[in-house]
Amino acid sequence: MKPDLRNWLSEMDRQGIMKHISREVSPINELAAVGKKLEPEYGAFFEHVEGSTMPVVTGLMTSRDRMAMSLGMPYEELLSRFSKALAEPLPCKVLGAEEGPFAIKENILTGAQVDLGILPACLHHEKDSGRYLTAALCVVKDPDTGIRNVCIHRHEVKDRNHLGALLLPRHTNQIFSKAEAEGRPLEVALAIGVHPSLLLASQATTPLGVDEFEIAGALLGEPLELVKCETVDLEVPVESEIIIEGRFLPNVRENEGPFGEYPKTYGPKAPRHVIEVTAITYRNSAIYHTIIPATMEHLLLGGISREASIMQVIRQATPNVRKVHITPASGCRYHVVIQLDQKHEGEAKNAMFAAFTSSTEVKHVVVVDPDIDIYDMQDVEWAIANRVQAGRDVFIIRDAMGNKLDPSSRGGVSDKMGIDATIPMNDKKERFQKIHIHGYENLNLDDYLK
Ligand code: MN
């Protein structure tokens, strides 16, 4: 399968899940407002955006099913395929110039031609400090090992050739710190307008030294094809719509933010990293992708990869875990629901401990039995209402590491709460059984409403 954004856009059209907007919209507030009104039912294709010749798409994968569909598999398969891809990455294929010409090289701007103003970068939320790139894969190489790292950061457009960046204390930051310690810049390439599988792979929870493009290849079942950049020693997906090349500047920080983030609050303004842009390349009729922060597209990208890794950790603690759901209302980060086929007294608590160790972001964990649909929060709340006695089933751990973006945390120090909503092992199961109407599932209402 060619991991091409345009293939997926055609599929969205075929399924009627993409709305085309031909009226001109402003990239300031208006585009985000329309896109957010349409999601999660529809994606949006803005054909005319004020100030740019490039159309804009958003809402490419607003449900688990759509994310899986973009990879040609049912959702149940996606988590296991993702785990397998983490375990067995597939090396990329770098295409030589003789294998071209490549669409991504149809337009090449370097030197004084570079102008980020050609991009329809959006202002999404009213208190954001400016226009942001939100769907750019950020590619760098570790100077020690030469191994690529791929991630998504937010990038503020500062002027025609400078971008701000928020590098949380993860891989890009670690790699940049190595270059900066020697007073050198770090080369970077940003890929915009890529297939959903690449965006998903970029969110994989892996140790430093794993190339997320190789995870994308494993997910797709064939090596991801890359081409060399023009002004930096990096490779980018050949099917990208737009590439921005540049370098993170050493010992330079400029104010960036505030910016509306996944918890649906604003991340504060602070001095942050700066990229100097050295080239922009793009396809003819390039399509620009923006992710509206805190929409399902944004939350699920992080959520699915987190579910795959949390599942691995819980499995080590208890093999009886069936499913894991990190809920969208918690930004797909803070609230974890675990479905457990409990075989031993206390097993639910062990599953919770494992969930807490899987990530500092996990804050509240609920464990339910296999008769609860963990994707239906009505059902999860029903279990909490009918199977929990707080004195017995709730425990709280004070002052652990949490997430700085949680406004209730004390600078990232956070309490953790576990709720065991499973039926107590020694209690009578029938007292907890759900009511059921015989024949309900197979009844066809049309037979009665003629
Ligand atoms: Mn990484």
Counting other chains too, the contacts that 94-98 makes at CB distance below 8 Å and 24 or more residues apart are 94/226, 94/227, 94/228, 94/235, 95/225, 95/226, 95/227, 95/238, 97/228
> Which domains can be identified in the chain, with CATH numbers?
64-286 (2.30.110.10), 298-429 (3.40.1670.10)
**426 pLDDT exceeds 90?**
no
Distance 302 CA to ligand 1 centre (A): 13
Q: Is the predicted pLDDT of residue 34 greater than 90, yes or no?
A: yes
Residue 1's pLDDT is 66
Distance 150 CA to ligand 1 centre (A): 6
Half-sphere exposure of 160 (CA within 13 A, CB side): 7
Alpha carbon of 171 to ligand 1 centroid (Å): 5
What is residue 141's three-state secondary structure? Answer: strand
CA dist., res. 9 & res. 70, Å (int): 10
Identify the band that residue 64 occupies on the pLDDT scale cut at 50, 70 and 90.
very high
Distance from residue 291's CA to the centre of ligand 1 (Å):
20
- What pLDDT is attached to residue 3? 87
User: Distance, CA 301 to ligand 1 centroid (Å)?
Assistant: 15
Q: Ligand 1 mean position to 149 CA, how many Å?
A: 5
Give the amino acid at 89. Answer: P
Q: Ligand 1 centre from 338 Cα, in Å?
A: 26
Burial class (CB in 10 A: 0-12, 13-18, 19+), 236: buried
- Tell me the average pLDDT across 142-147: 96
Only one residue has tokens 């002027």, namely 159
What is the pLDDT, as a whole number, of residue 106? Answer: 98
Dist. CA 425 → ligand 1 center (Å): 41
- Rounded distance from Cα 202 to ligand 1 centre (Å): 8
Distance 201 CA to ligand 1 centre (A): 10
Query: How far is ligand 1, taken at its centre, from the CA of residue 239, in Å?
Result: 21
**43 alpha carbon to ligand 1 midpoint, in Å?**
28
Give the mean pLDDT of 94-100.
95
Q: What is the mean pLDDT of the chain?
A: 96
Least confident of 74-78, 299-303, 331-335, 430-434: 74-78
Residue 204 CA to ligand 1 centre (angstroms) = 7
pLDDT the model gives residue 450: 80
- Alpha-carbon distance of 184 to 203, in angstroms, equals 27
Is the pLDDT at 59 greater than 70, yes or no? yes
Q: Ligand 1 mean position to 314 CA, how many Å?
A: 22
Distance 168 CA to ligand 1 centre (A): 12
Q: What are the Cα distances from residue 383, in Å, to 167, 325, 371?
A: 39, 15, 10
The pair of three-digit structure tokens given for residue 10, joined into one six-digit string: 């055609």
Q: What is the pLDDT of residues 219-229, one digit of tens each?
A: 999 999 999 99
Centre of ligand 1 from the C-alpha of residue 299, in Å? 19
Q: How far does the centroid of ligand 1 lie from the alpha carbon of residue 221, in Å?
A: 20
Residue 319 has what pLDDT? 94
Neighbours of 58 (CB within 10 A): 28
What pLDDT, on a 0 to 100 scale, did the predictor assign at position 256?
97
Confidence of residue 206 (pLDDT cuts 50, 70, 90): confident
Specify the 3-state DSSP secondary structure of 203: coil
Strands (E), 84-233: 93-94, 107-110, 132-133, 137-141, 148-152, 155-159, 162-165, 186-192, 225-228
Range scoring the smallest mean pLDDT among 17-26, 98-107, 237-246, 309-318: 309-318
Decide: helix, strand or coil at residue 316. helix
Q: Which of 23-37, 198-212, 293-307, 312-326 is modeled with the greatest confidence?
A: 23-37
Cα 209 to middle of ligand 1, angstroms? 7
CA of 212 to the centre of ligand 1 (A): 6
Residue 407 Cα, ligand 1 centroid: separation in angstroms?
A: 26
State mean pLDDT over 446-450: 91
pLDDT band at 2 (very low <50, low <70, confident <90, very high): confident
Residues in the chain: 450
Q: 247 C-alpha vs ligand 1 centroid, how far in Å?
A: 18
Question: How far apart are the CA of 44 and the centre of ligand 1, in A?
Answer: 30
Ligand 1: distance of its center to the CA of 170 in Å?
8
